[in-house]
Structure 1
Amino acid sequence: MEAQTETPPQECECGVHPSVFYLLATLLLTSCSTAMLCAAIMTEHWEHVGWERTALTALANASSTAVQWLLDDKVAKIEHPGSRKGGGTFLVPMNGGIWTMCVSLKEEEVSILSRAGFPTQPLCTNYLANTDDDDDEPRADWQHRMQNLSISCALVCLIVLGSAALVGTFGVCKHQISAVLITGVMYLLAGLFAMFTLMIIYFKRIQRVSTRGSSHVDDTADGVVGPRAPALALLSAREFSTSWSLELGWGGVALVTTTSILWILLSKIMRYNPLSAMLL
C-alpha cells in the first residue's frame, strides 16, 4: 500500500508591493501641500497694520493735531477743525492678504464707532478691482508694482497647482510615466512662484524708512479711514508686520518642494515597477 504524500498547502501571496505605500504617501503629501499652499494664498493675514501710540502722540503734539482714542486705545480719531459733529479721520488696525486689505474690527466695534462718525464704507479693499479712479486711497507707485507682482505670482501658483492635480490624476490612473514626471516638475514650478510671492510680500514695505517723523514714508492709505489729508503728518507712526499666513506659505513651499521630489521619484519607480504590477 503506497503511502500518500501530502503536498504542503501553498501560502497565498497577498502581500502589498512596497511601492504602493510610496504611492499612497505621495498622494497624501500632495493633498496636504496643495491645501496648505492654497489656504495660505487665500487667507487675509499676510501683514498687519497697526499704530504705535507713543509715536502717534508725539507726532500729533508736534503737528498740533487733536487725537481721541476709542475702543480701549484700539482706534484713534482725528478731529477736523470746523467739521460737523461725527466727522473726522480714523486710524484703525488692518490686516491684509495678497489682494485684499481689511479693517481688523468686529461688527460690534464698527457699530460703536459709527456713533462717533465712522464712515459707512466697505471694510475691505480689493486690489483686484479697478481702483485707478479712486482718489480716496492712492497707493505709492512702488507699493502698487509690488502688489501687482505678488498677485500675478499667486494666481500663476494657483493655476499651476490646479493643472498639476489634473495631470497627476491622469498619470496615476492611466499609468503614464511622462505625466507623473511632468506633475513633479509642475509642483516644483508652483513652489517657485509661491516663493516669489512670499518674498515680494515680505519686502513690499522695504522703502519705508523706520525713522519717526521722516518725510519719506510709505504714503499708502493703509490704516486710514476717512479723509486722508489730516493723517499725512502721522503716517510714520504706522507699524507693518507680517503674520501667520506668511509662515503658512513658507510651510506650503517646503511641502510642495518635497512633493515634487516624490513625484519625480515615483516616475522612476513606475519605469521599473508598473502600477499594474504594484496593485496586483
Structure 2
Amino acid sequence: MPAHTSVKLNTGAEMPVLGLGTWQSKPEQVRGAVQYALEIGYRHIDTAAAYGNEKEVGEGIKLSGVPREQIFLTTKLPNEKHKQAEEALEESLKALDTTYLDLWLMHWPAPMIGGKADKTHDWIDTWKSMEELYKKYPEKLKAIGVSNCSVDFLERLLPQATVIPAVNQVELHPSCTQHDVVEYCTKRGIVLTAYSPLGSEGSPLLSNHTVKKIAHKHNVQPATVLISYAANRPNLTVLPKSVTKERIAANFKVIDLTDEDLKELHKIDETEHFRACGPEWTGWGHLGFPDFKFLAK
C-alpha cells in the first residue's frame, strides 16, 4: 500500500502518521529536537509525564514558532497518578504550557504506588475517570486513549467504556508485529501508534538482512524502510525518536512499499521475535501485575 500522511480518529480529528517520539530524550536535548522537528515539517509530537521532559517539549513547541493549532500533541497519564487523573491532567497542561491536549493516553493499565502495584485500584476505574474528564473538559481534551494494551486488556475495557479509546500506543515493528492487536483495533476504529519502530535501544533492526535488502532495492536507509513499514499500513501511526538533527530529518522521509516488501518484513517476527518493553525490562512481572504476562509473547 502507498504511504499515507494522516489517519482519522474516531473523534473525526486527523492525526499525522509520522510523529517525533521523545522517550529517553533528555530534557536539555529534547527542547531543540522538538523545535527542529517542527521547523522542518513534523506536526505530531509525543511525550509523557513519566519521561520527565514535558516542560522542555513545551518550550520546543514555543521556540519553533509553529502555531499550536497546527500541532498534534500527545502526552500520558503516569502509573503513579491513576487515582489522581484530574491532577495529572492539570500538571501536564501546566508543564507543556498549553491549554489543551490533542490526545491523552493512559500510559500503562497499571496503577502503582511507590513503584509497586496498587492492588486497591482497578485501571478500568482510571479509564472511567479519563472519560469523565473528556466529557467535562472538551476544551482541554480532544481525544483520550490507552497505551500498552493487548487484546485481552481491550476486551475487558471496551464493554465497560462509554468512550472508545481513539488510540492504542504499543511497541510495534517487524520483530514485534502484534497482528492480533492491529486486527482487533482496526475492526473497532481504534488507531494504533507504533513506538520503537527501529526495535528500540541500539536499533537492532537496522542490521537485519531483510530490512537491508529492501532498503537497497529502494535506494534508502534501513531506518526509512522500518518507519515506512507502519506508514504504509492503514490505521497506523509511527513515532521514530532522535535528538540528532540529521536523524530527525532522515526519519521524516517515508516511501511506498510493495505488498511483497510488507510480507517479507512481517516474516521477520517468525524467526527473530523480540520486544524491548516487556516484564523483564520494566520489572513489573515481579510487582504484582499477573496480567502483564501478555507482554512476554
Same fold (TM over 0.5): no
Structure with the largest fraction of helix:
1
Q: Compare CA radii of gyration and give the structure with the larger one.
A: 1
Normalising to structure 1: TM-score of the pair? 0.23
Normalising to structure 2: TM-score of the pair? 0.22
